[in-house]
Amino acid sequence: MIAYLTVEKFLPELLKELKNVRSVHGNLVLTDGPIQNAVWAHNIWLNAEIIPFESITQAAKALKGLGKLWTHYSFENHRRAELIQDQLPKLRPRVMDFLGELPKDPIGAWTLLDKNTLLAASETNSPFPLGEVQFNENKETPPSRAYLKLWELFTVYGVRPSPGQRVVDFGSCPGGWTWVLQQMGCEVISIDRAPLDEKIARLPRIRFMKTNAFNVKPEDIGAIDWFFSDIICYPEKLLELVKNWQSSGLCSNFVCTIKFQGKTDFETLAAFQGLENSRIQHLVHNKHEVTVWIRKSSA
224-264 residue pLDDT tens: 999 999 999 999 999 999 999 999 999 989 999 999 988 99
For the chain, list the domains and their CATH numbers. 2-131 (3.30.2130), 137-294 (3.40.50.150)
As a whole number, mean pLDDT of residues 79-86 equals: 96
What percent of the chain has pLDDT above 70? Answer: 99
pLDDT bracket for residue 299 (50, 70, 90):
very low
What pLDDT is recorded for position 93? 87
pTM of the shown model: 0.94
The chain-wide mean pLDDT, for the chain, equals 96
Residue 298 has pLDDT above 50, yes or no: no
* Residue 8: HSE in the Cβ half-sphere, 13 Å Cα cutoff: 4
Residue 8 has pLDDT above 80, yes or no: yes
As a whole number, mean pLDDT of residues 88-98 equals: 94
197-211 residue pLDDT tens: 999 999 999 999 999
268-287 residue pLDDT tens: 999 999 999 999 999 999 99
